[in-house]
Amino acid sequence: MKKTVLITGATGFLGSHLVKYLLENGYQVVILKRSFSKIDRLISVLDKLICYDLDKCNLSQPFLDIDTIDAVIHTATEYGRQMESASSVANSNTFFPLLLMEEAVKNDVKLFINTDTYFNKKEIPYRGLANYSLSKKHFLDWGKHFADSGKICFFNMYLEHIYGTHDSPSKFTTYVIQSCLNNVPYLNLTEGRQTRDYVYIDDVVSAYYRVLNNSSEEVKFQEYEVGTGMLTSVREFAENVHFFTNSSTILKFGAMPYQNYEIMESKANNSSLLELGWKAKISLKEGLQKTIDYETNLIHSYSNL
């Protein structure tokens, strides 16, 4: 019998890749979205999904309709970068997933996998996105509480700096790639001394899959840091993109100041994932080439319209 996974944020970058990977590996996939969500990332597999529009049904409906949901993977989030109110951010990142977890517990779902971010690894909320960070920490506390009560297994995935195909143009990695491919005259950057653990989307998805398939009801709570465990400076990343795209764009390092509360170094302690037999397989060079090829094809397709 096929296992069934319910996914939030399925129309997004990470969620859409997860959906496709799980389908390819024999899972039945249920997604929660809104009726007005952009579904372009899922067009090729939409007919294989069980879809629920949250603005048109109760959150309990999927659990009533489907006999067994084996796990929930929560990837939906709101960062608050568009000046959303604190209550809006808290509703998206704390109250909504809490309601979802209550439904999961009520319907005997065994596992809840939550998606978190590298800048939330510290106990002090990240002040660069304070509302987001605080709301995620509040939900993590609820997850620990439910797990400690023995109600459900709760696993928290701290993602390092993920990149890859189908990512948002607003993301730093995509922005640099698109700018270099379009040969913009110059690109203003910081000095680029920050170091990041750049991890390709396929490796991130395989980490979720490994955790999903190696869960045990004996382990109620677990945290995983998802990354390669290797550091690359922002400057080196941009220079690699510039080289691989053969771009004429001038990279103006130091033209921009560092942001307030800039995180100067972050890499995954991925020992918990390594113990499960997972490891990152795609090098930065290979991942960049895959992403650049994808973005190049997009540019060509637009130019032929």
Residues 34, 19: Cα–Cα separation, whole Å: 16
Instruction: pLDDT band for 298, please (50, 70, 90 cuts).
Output: confident
75 and 145 in a single domain? The answer is yes
> Using 50, 70 and 90 to split pLDDT, how confident is the model at 80?
confident
Task: Indicate if 132 belongs to the active site.
Answer: yes
Same domain, 138 and 188: no
pLDDT tens-digit profile of 87-137?
999 999 999 999 999 999 999 999 999 999 998 988 777 888 899 999 999
Same domain (yes/no): 83, 177: no
Asked if 93 and 77 touch (Cβ cutoff 8 Å), the reply is yes
Which residue type, as a one-letter code, is found at position 95? F
The contacts of residue 12 (CB under 8 Å, 6+ apart) are: 41, 75, 76
Residue 302: the pLDDT is 64
Rounded Cα gap, residues 152 and 104, in angstroms: 8
d(CA 138, CA 47): 36
Taking the alpha carbons of 8, 11, 16, 20 in that order, is the dihedral positive or negative?
positive
Say if residues 186 and 249 touch (Cβ distance below 8 Å): yes
From the candidates 21, 118, 126, 132, give the one annotated as an active-site residue: 132
Same domain (yes/no): 147, 186: no
Chain Cα centroid distance, residue 247: 29
Q: According to the model, what pLDDT value does residue 81 have?
A: 83
Predicted TM-score (pTM) above 0.75: yes
Q: Classify residue 24: in a domain, yes or no.
A: yes
pLDDT grade for 209, boundaries at 50, 70 and 90: very high
In a domain, 45, yes or no: yes
Q: How many domains does the chain have?
A: 2
Q: Mean pLDDT throughout 12-33?
A: 97
**pLDDT range class, residue 305, cuts 50, 70, 90:** low
Say if residues 9 and 42 touch (Cβ distance below 8 Å).
no
Instruction: Give the pLDDT mean for 177-198.
Output: 97
- CATH code for position 176: 3.90.25.10
The mean predicted confidence, pLDDT, of the chain is 95
| DSSP symbols for 169-225 | TTSHHHHHHHHHHTT-SEEEE-----EE-EEEHHHHHHHHHHHHHT--TT--EEEEE
> Long-range CB contacts (< 8 A, 24+ apart) of 59-65?
59/32, 59/99, 59/100, 59/103, 60/103, 60/106, 62/6, 62/30, 62/32, 63/103, 63/104, 63/106, 63/107, 63/109
Pair 236, 295 in one domain? yes
pLDDT at 299 over 90: no
Domain that holds residue 25: 4-159
- Picking from 138, 159, 180, the residue at the C-terminal end of a domain is 159
Q: Give CA–CA dist 185/32, Å, rounded.
A: 42
Claim to verify: residue 144 and residue 14 sit in the same structural domain: yes
143-163 per-position pLDDT tens digit: 999 999 999 999 999 999 999
Confidence of residue 216 (pLDDT cuts 50, 70, 90): confident
> Could you tell me if 152 and 183 lie in one domain?
no
